[in-house]
């Protein structure tokens, strides 16, 4: 039996991590009717088929049942009458009842018309390697992916909709942007991604307004885990350019009642490497999840304007070329063991309606690392999360050094405040 989580059931609101000045209020998902609560129910081991138990609980407690979870853990999301909440918690088959919190997004967009090699892909030297990520499957937990985009359609393997509507199509743009940085096809037009022969899975956990719920995100992780290597599936990398407030209890969510953490731990153990955004508040990432989880690869953002090292490009709106973006969260202590950096300012990539756009944020830095992870796994089949993380860090570019003598004695990138000792990912080693 798993440890009792009933006493602590606090979850978190999730934001897609674009640049801080871009965060504006948006409409949240519709609240349950008055007198009802939206919750996530985690069942005890051996409780029975989650769908059957959810149906039984629906009849017994007046629930309106939503997504059912079968892979990362047995459970379901539901709307429950407030008056029956305590009875549901006390049910012998229930391990935990946690609030299903809203998630949201807002963004700043700068559209570009020229077709260029994206500066981020160039900066991490992904274009200089013969490894193109062939055969590696990457899940994008986001607002969906534009399946008609010519740079993405050839690589789109499938997906799931855990949000509103009936498809995983992206009506927002954020998920399509992330997907392009990971694996936009090398097809002589548009843009090219870090791993242009990797397969993409659209895991839509937010709606067209960028809003959703914790239950929809757990639904997405559950889908990823169902297609993990341990379950005979192909997905080995998952990109999560989203996050919210919370902390790592050091026990995969069993101490502080965090089903998101429990889900990620389960999928990681099943062979999936999760790459997540550090956040855009310019604070310590220890207070942000999933960035604080030890099981993930957490990504901070570098400001780069010219796609090259050495700090010779023009200043960006978030810092001097080849320094860390002013909005990027920071790591400290043990958290630094799972943190890496990548370009996250003015990143040009695919966008909804077969378009292209430039965005900034740790959301944009994260897919560079997810793509690099795919390159590593392509060359090292069967590599797990800890091996992938170790390689990303040991082959990365440390601050204040001239990597490979490329800067004639100057630094490839600098960190004058000393807040970002983590390496910047370099893909040429893969």
> Would you tell me the crossing angle of helices 362-379 and 174-183 to the nearest 10 degrees?
40
Provide the Cα torsion 197, 377, 238, 340; round to 10°.
-110
Which of 141, 140, 167, 127 is closest to 428 using CA atoms? Answer: 127
Rounded Cα distance, 182 and 356, in Å? 14
Q: CB of 161 within 8 A of CB of 144?
A: yes
In sequence order, what DSSP letters do the residues of 184-197 get, joined into one string? ---SSSS---SSTT
Q: CB of 364 within 8 A of CB of 348?
A: no
Q: Which residue has the tokens 């860090």?
A: 393
Q: Which residue has the tokens 């956990």?
A: 205
> What's 306-335 look like in SS3?
CCCCCCCCCCECCECCCEECCCCCECCHHH
The answer to whether the peptide bond before residue 198 is cis (omega within 30 degrees of 0) is: no
Cα distances (Å, whole numbers) of residue 231 to 94, 135, 272, 421:
25, 17, 11, 37
Q: CB of 393 within 8 A of CB of 423?
A: yes
> Would you tell me the crossing angle of helices 385-394 and 362-379 to the nearest 10 degrees?
110
Cα distances (Å, whole numbers) of residue 126 to 84, 308, 421, 428:
54, 12, 22, 6
Active site residues: 142, 174, 363
Which of 9, 54, 347, 317 is closest to 191 using CA atoms? Answer: 347
User: How are the residues of the chain apportioned to helix, strand and coil, as percentages rounded to the nearest 5?
Assistant: 25, 25, 50
Q: CB of 131 within 8 A of CB of 429?
A: no
The answer to whether the peptide bond before residue 44 is cis (omega within 30 degrees of 0) is: no
Strands across the sheet containing 94-99: 64-69, 75-81, 36-43, 94-99
Q: CB of 233 within 8 A of CB of 199?
A: no
């Amino acid at each position: 039996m798993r440890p009792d989580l009933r006493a602590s059931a606090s979850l978190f609101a999730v934001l897609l991590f674009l640049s801080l000045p871009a965060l504006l209020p948006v409409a949240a998902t519709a609240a349950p009717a008055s007198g009802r609560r939206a919750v996530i129910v985690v069942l005890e081991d051996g409780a029975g088929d989650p769908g059957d138990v959810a149906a039984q609980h629906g009849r017994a407690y007046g629930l309106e049942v939503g997504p059912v979870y079968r892979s990362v853990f047995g459970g379901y999301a539901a709307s429950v009458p407030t008056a029956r909440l305590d009875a549901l918690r006390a049910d012998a088959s229930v391990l935990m009842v946690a609030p299903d919190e809203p998630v949201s997004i807002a963004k700043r967009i700068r559209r570009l018309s020229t077709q260029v090699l994206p500066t981020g892909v160039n900066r991490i030297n992904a274009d200089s390697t013969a490894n193109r990520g062939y055969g590696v499957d990457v899940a994008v937990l986001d607002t969906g992916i534009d399946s008609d985009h010519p740079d993405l359609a050839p690589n789109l393997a499938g997906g799931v909709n855990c949000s509103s509507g009936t498809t995983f199509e992206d009506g927002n743009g954020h998920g399509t942007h992330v997907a392009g940085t990971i694996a936009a096809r090398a097809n002589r037009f548009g843009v090219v991604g870090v791993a242009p022969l990797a397969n993409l899975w659209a895991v839509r956990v937010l709606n067209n307004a960028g809003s959703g719920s914790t239950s929809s995100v757990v639904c997405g992780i559950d889908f990823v885990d169902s297609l993990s290597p341990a379950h005979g599936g192909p997905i080995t990398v998952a990109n999560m350019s989203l996050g919210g407030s919370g902390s790592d209890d050091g026990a995969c969510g069993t101490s502080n009642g965090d089903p998101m953490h429990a889900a990620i731990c389960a999928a990681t153990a099943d062979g999936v490497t999760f790459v997540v955004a550090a956040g855009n508040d310019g604070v310590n990432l220890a207070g942000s999840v999933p960035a604080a989880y030890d099981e993930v690869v957490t990504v901070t953002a570098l400001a780069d304007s010219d796609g090259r090292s050495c700090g010779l490009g023009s200043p960006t709106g978030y810092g001097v070329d080849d320094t860390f973006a002013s909005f990027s969260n920071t790591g400290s202590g043990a958290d630094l063991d799972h943190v890496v950096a990548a370009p996250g300012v003015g990143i040009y990539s695919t966008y909804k309606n077969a378009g292209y756009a430039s965005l900034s944020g740790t959301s944009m830095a994260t897919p560079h690392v997810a793509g690099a992870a795919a390159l590593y796994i392509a060359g090292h089949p069967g590599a797990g999360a800890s091996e992938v993380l170790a390689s990303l860090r040991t082959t990365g570019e440390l601050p204040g050094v001239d990597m490979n003598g490329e800067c004639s004695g100057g630094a490839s990138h600098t960190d004058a405040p000393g807040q970002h000792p983590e390496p910047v990912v370099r893909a040429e080693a893969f």
